[in-house]
Structure 1
Amino acid sequence: MLDACTDHALEHGLPDRMGPLAAAAGTSTRMLVYHFGDRDTLLRAVLRRARERQLAVFGDLLRVRAGEAYPVTLQRAWDGISGAAGRPYLRIFGERREGAVDELWPGFRQVATTDWLAPLHEGLGGPGPATLALAVIRGLLADLDATGDTARTDAAFGHFVALLGVDQLG
């Protein structure tokens, strides 16, 4: 039931009412209330499940690979994170930045930032480069979300990766 609600939210965003989630799960609003208690508790569960999925997908994209220069890994990760497979996560969590995030998930903005520092730190060899890379990624994702200009943001990320120098980190 939760997975069906999460699938729906990733595709359509978080609804104002429980009805769309009930329909997506093939159940009734009454059953959702029975299992989750209320709308906000259900939405928190949906957000947490979506976050688990995002961490698994994006974490795999950002992990260090033996024999591969990390800038190459970063370029592939950018393609996955900013592409069609990553956009539902960016959309649903972007809504959390825009809305009342603290009501549904206190501390989400900090967690959503710091979760990505460890794989970047491992790949880039330090907290400074990891923080810089995360800032570039977050900034370009915000730009992409605001403008939809994939070609320009992809080119900008390519420039960033080129600045890292494949030979230096390989």
Structure 2
Amino acid sequence: MGRHKQPEIRDRILDACVDHALVHGLPDRLEPFATASGTSARMLIYHFGTRDALLRETLRRARRRQRDFFGELVSPRPEEPYPSTLRRAWQVMTGPAGRPYLTMFGRLREDAEQQLWPGFRRESTTDWLQPFEEGMRGMGRPELATLVLAVVRGLIMDIETTGDVARADQAFDDFLAALALLAETPATAGSRRVPPVPTTSDG
């Protein structure tokens, strides 16, 4: 009789591969994953089928961890102004605990072929939108969630490109100050129609 696969062993191996990939990046060979998970390359193939299949599952589990982690950070908290929540979330996301995720998925986003995760760019564009909407709803401006998301993503890309954390931190503080002013402005203020410019006749 053939050996039955044990889901708990597969799950443990996958978690170990995610831990390794967050620190060292995705490997070109199976041996680093085998060492990290305390098994062999042959057993990795047994449990996951192919190297690419293992890499895909590693990415998807890492993304699930990131969504849970970052989603909790940016979710609104009772009795705390949402800009304060965003400031603390930014510090954690761009600090030692969050940077491994930013590096991993920044590289995936820049991958021109997107073979391991087709459609990742599109999916990753809005997967943080809901908690930002909930937070901005508490400030009376849920429609500004897309702006918040765009600024966060843009400054993260800046850090990944330049490494200038201090400049990005200052820019984020400036944005939060502007966001507080925007939240004080009625949502209908920007929708007022501009009166037409009068024309003059030569007659």
Per mean C-alpha deviation after superposition, the further-off stretch among 102-111 and 8-17 is 102-111
Give the aligned residue type for 2:156.
L
Q: 2:87 aligns with which of 65, 75, 79?
A: 75
Q: 1:85 aligns with which of 93, 97, 102?
A: 97
CA 101–116 in structure 1, closer or farther in 2 if over 3 Å, else same:
farther
Q: 2:15 aligns with which of 3, 10, 15?
A: 3
**Count of paired positions:** 169
How big is the shift at 1:141? Answer: 0.3
| Amino-acid identity (%) | 59
Per mean C-alpha deviation after superposition, the further-off stretch among 11-20 and 101-110 is 101-110
- TM-score (norm. length: structure 1): 0.94
Runs in 1 of length 4+ with deviation above 6 angstroms?
none
Residue 105 (str. 1) matches residue 112 (str. 2): no
- TM-score (norm. length: structure 2): 0.79
Give the aligned residue type for 2:152.
I
Q: Indicate the structure (1 or 2) with the bigger Cα radius of gyration.
A: 2
Q: Tell me what 2:188 maps to.
A: none
Q: Tell me what 1:150 maps to.
A: 165
Equivalent position SS for 1:67: coil
CA 52–153 in structure 1, closer or farther in 2 if over 3 Å, else same:
same
Gaps of 5+ in 1: none
Q: 2:51 aligns with which of 39, 59, 68?
A: 39
Highest RCO, 1 vs 2 (Cα 8 Å, sep ≥ 6): 1
Q: CA RMSD in A?
A: 1.6
Distance of 2:154 and 2:181 partners within structure 1: 22
Structure (1 or 2) with the greater helix fraction: 1
Distance of 1:56 and 1:10 partners within structure 2: 16
1:57-78 CA distance string (max 9 Å, x none): 1011011101111111111110
Residue 137 (str. 1) matches residue 147 (str. 2): no
CA contact (8 A) 2:135 2:142 kept: no
Gaps of 5+ in 2: 1-12, 185-203
Q: 2:71 aligns with which of 59, 62, 82?
A: 59
